[in-house]
Structure 1
Amino acid sequence: MQRLPADGQRVLCWLPDNPVHLPGLAAREQRHVVVLRFAEDWFVKNPSKTGRTTHRHFWLGEGSSNCFFEQVTHWAPLPPGPGAA
């Protein structure tokens, strides 16, 4: 079983269905790999105002790319940057 990321950890995530609007065009493109931040127990700390029942965890995006936990099928830690030991 894959271990969940640490709360607040930024990870690479795979979204099977993630259409993105292309600026300046009337087109969309699938972007399956995105960087998201894991939010452990998000809906325990922030109950849904719409009554949506979902997993208690959440993925916070950069910009407007937030995702419900169940939308992400795979994740991996970000690789270390140049010069990282």
Structure 2
Amino acid sequence: MDRLVVELCMGSSCFARGNSQTLQALETFLRNEGLADQVELVGHLCLGACSKGPNVRIGDQAYRELDAEGVVALVKQSLTLRKQTT
């Protein structure tokens, strides 16, 4: 199975608005759950919507204004859906 791609904007606006905490939360979650081999974390300097950040893209879906808990929940949901369809 291909890895789930989670892209985080690490530009100054999104980083300051919470993506620094989101990155830490995702890394901790993946490590603690043994899922690091199923998810690829990718950082970007800008995802093009600075005023609506922090910005995250999970697979093909873009999300805005989410906190770390919301992003972790979406990653969990995405991984569950991927298991059900394989």
What TM-score comes out, normalization by structure 2 length?
0.28
Which is richer in helix? Answer: 2
Structure possessing the higher radius of gyration over alpha carbons: 1
What TM-score comes out, normalization by structure 1 length?
0.28
Which is richer in strand? Answer: 1
